[in-house]
Structure 1
Amino acid sequence: MDPSLSALIRQLDLEQLEVNLFRGESRHLGSPRVFGGQVISQALVAAERTVDGRLPHSLHAYFLLPGDVTAPIVYQVDRIRDGRSFSARRVQAIQHGRPILSMIASFQKPEPGLEHAASMPEVPPPEALASYSELVERWLADAGPVPPQTAEAMRTPGAIEFRPIEPQNPLRRVHGEPRQAAWFRAVDRLPDDPHLHRCILAYASDSTLAGAPLRPHGRSWWQPSMIVASLDHALWFHRQARVDEWLLYAMDSPSAQSARGLARGLVFDRSGLLVASVAQEILMRDTGPARSA
């Protein structure tokens, strides 16, 4: 198996310290801060390990502090409720004695019901698009001198492959519409474990969202003057999906104000079925000289 994906699977296999108490490790992805999607997915793992016979249908998380990539994260689960159909769990992710993330996840006993779903937008297939690694080399060549740490971070192989529909060079951003889309999948085949696929989908859902609210302003998270960070994250699981097969992530941003931008995302499988919805508010603070956007 691909080393990056194997490392992610090991990260999601949390160590149980005590009843309702788990510990996870982080992987360095080119930043001293822990990737938010990692904390969300590990918190979901912790919550799922305290629930039997019910599937997660939603989670709502707040990022409280930047995570330290060099230190383990302890996940404390509070069993808020176990009803006849639904269960609720609160998870605190703790480092150095302080919560870095607080999340509530809701679980439901499987049952039939009425169904409808949004339609997938028409986009080119992933096979017709350049890979992210190919795009990175083009972007670096086009950008001129780039700090070595930035180039290293952009080239760091990940467990998830993304293929943007209309790629923009994050080192030379231009103004555009507040929307974007990308195909994504795990870089290698995964075991047939729905729990693992859900948690890796949660991991991937925190990627690329910030681009949508930044696009209308010609900004990028790679710009030295920009402070970009996830403030919160909501995810709804509608249907089961395999994350080692291509999924389409269609994103838009209806508003930005007060140094915050709202991003929304819909995740479709290759057949066009809606499998998940995402919403996130993003800090997008420009610390450089004032510029018209």
Structure 2
Amino acid sequence: MTEMARQAATGLDSVSGGGGRLVLDKLVALLDLERIEENIFRGISPAQSPVRVFGGQVAGQALVAAGRTVPETRRVHSLHAYFIRGGDPSVPIVYQVDRIRDGRSFTTRRVVAIQHGKAIFSLSASFQTDEPGIDHAESMPEVPDPETLPTFAERAEGFPLRFAGRPRPIDIRYVGDPPWITRTSGAFSGHNRVWMRADGTLPDAQLLHVCVLTYASDMTLLDSVLARHGVYWDVDEVLGVSLDHALWFHRPFRADEWLLYDSTSPSASGARGLATGRFFTREGEHVATVVQEGLLRVR
């Protein structure tokens, strides 16, 4: 286990002082996997964790494992993942990388995360060398600047939300009223929009930034499904888990700079909800697209 990973074992949400900076350091440490063999890596979870491993964590760690078998000159442009079983935060996760193909322009990797001898998660990722081509993108919606918006803790004050008062590695600012408020007002607009960024400066390694964004992309996305039905985590009786997750990376970005996460839900049925999201920089560049389906049981 690396020294950074040892520090991460103290927990992402166990810091009583120092705010998000210390918690961000622990997230970076969680993504610093231990290499056991050429294509085998081991990751850990925070000491103080929920019952299941956070989906964004295992997705981020799996992408780290894949990326460490690929030349740095090739950037990840897409990933597709399935959450197979709930992860056990009390034991390490082993990531096995299958080097599917190394082509002239593209590299493909498959990663399986294993605990207790069983697969809990699988990921396929594709990497590409930089090359010129046609270029277009949709425009970013007009929203207030993130500095003008309340923090997550300020928005959550007075509501029974888990972890609301604890430091978080990702600074999240809701544009407009968050869904735990609109659930009773009926003012949901059809889009769940938040500004988010790593709460501190990250090293320059490009792979780290895409892995931190992968981690953060599992946050707030399914809110867009629940908000359409006037319910929300912790406030109502909602059981939800991620089933699959797909990400496309369009342009370079830094995860420690503000990104607008604009998400909506086109459909929900059969106790499953589909959510799509787009990431934009402050300058309006569309840098990533997300699609996720979640199991959502509302009592």
TM-score normalised to the size of structure 2? 0.89
Residues 1:173 and 2:190 aligned together: no
Q: Which stretches of structure 1, 4 residues or longer, exceed 4 Å deviation after superposition?
A: none
* 3-state SS in 2 of match to 1:154: coil
Distance change in 2, residues 1:178/1:30 (3 Å): farther
Distance change in 2, residues 1:112/1:172 (3 Å): closer
* 3-state SS in 2 of match to 1:192: coil
* 3-state SS in 2 of match to 1:10: helix
* 3-state SS in 2 of match to 1:173: helix
* 3-state SS in 1 of match to 2:183: coil
Distance change in 2, residues 1:133/1:99 (3 Å): same
Q: Percent identity?
A: 52
Residues 1:231 and 2:243 aligned together: yes
Write the distance in 2 (CA, Å) between the matches of 1:162 and 1:224.
22
Residues 1:156 and 2:201 aligned together: no
Task: Output the aligned Cα RMSD.
Answer: 1.6
Query: Partner residue of 2:59?
Result: 40
* 3-state SS in 2 of match to 1:217: coil
Query: Partner residue of 2:40?
Result: 21
Query: Partner residue of 1:2?
Result: 21
Asked whether the 8 Å contact 1:171–1:223 carries over to 2, the reply is: no
Query: Partner residue of 1:217?
Result: 229
Query: Partner residue of 2:135?
Result: 115
* 3-state SS in 2 of match to 1:65: coil
Residues 1:106 and 2:126 aligned together: yes
Residues 1:79 and 2:79 aligned together: no
Query: Partner residue of 1:272?
Result: 284
Residues 1:205 and 2:225 aligned together: no
Write the distance in 1 (CA, Å) between the matches of 2:192 and 2:236.
23
Q: Which amino acid aligns with 2:169?
A: A
Asked whether the 8 Å contact 1:5–1:188 carries over to 2, the reply is: yes
* 3-state SS in 2 of match to 1:3: helix
Write the distance in 2 (CA, Å) between the matches of 1:94 and 1:118.
39
Residues 1:59 and 2:79 aligned together: yes
Runs (5+) with no aligned partner, structure 2: 1-19
Q: Which amino acid aligns with 2:35?
A: Q
Query: Partner residue of 1:243?
Result: 255
Query: Partner residue of 1:285?
Result: 297
Deviation at 1:71, TM superposition (A): 1.1
Write the distance in 2 (CA, Å) between the matches of 1:110 and 1:40.
24
Write the distance in 2 (CA, Å) between the matches of 1:31 and 1:156.
14
Q: Which amino acid aligns with 1:164?
A: Y
Asked whether the 8 Å contact 2:276–2:290 carries over to 1, the reply is: yes
May I ask how many residue pairs the two structures share in their alignment?
277
Deviation at 1:98, TM superposition (A): 1.0
Query: Partner residue of 1:263?
Result: 275
Distance change in 2, residues 1:80/1:237 (3 Å): same
Query: What whole-Å deviation, never above 9, does each CA across 1:118-173 have from its counterpart, x for those lacking one?
Result: 11000011011001111122x42xxxxx4xxx54x232221000000023353883
Asked whether the 8 Å contact 2:79–2:247 carries over to 1, the reply is: yes
Write the distance in 1 (CA, Å) between the matches of 2:228 and 2:96.
39
Runs (5+) with no aligned partner, structure 1: 141-145, 289-293
Write the distance in 2 (CA, Å) between the matches of 1:184 and 1:225.
27
Q: Which amino acid aligns with 1:161?
A: D
Query: Partner residue of 1:189?
Result: 201
Where do 1:125-140 residues align within 5 Å?
A: 125-137=145-157, 139-140=158-159
Query: Partner residue of 1:50?
Result: 69
Query: What whole-Å deviation, never above 9, does each CA across 1:155-205 have from its counterpart, x for those lacking one?
Result: 222100000002335388334343210000111111122111111011111
Deviation at 1:18, TM superposition (A): 0.5
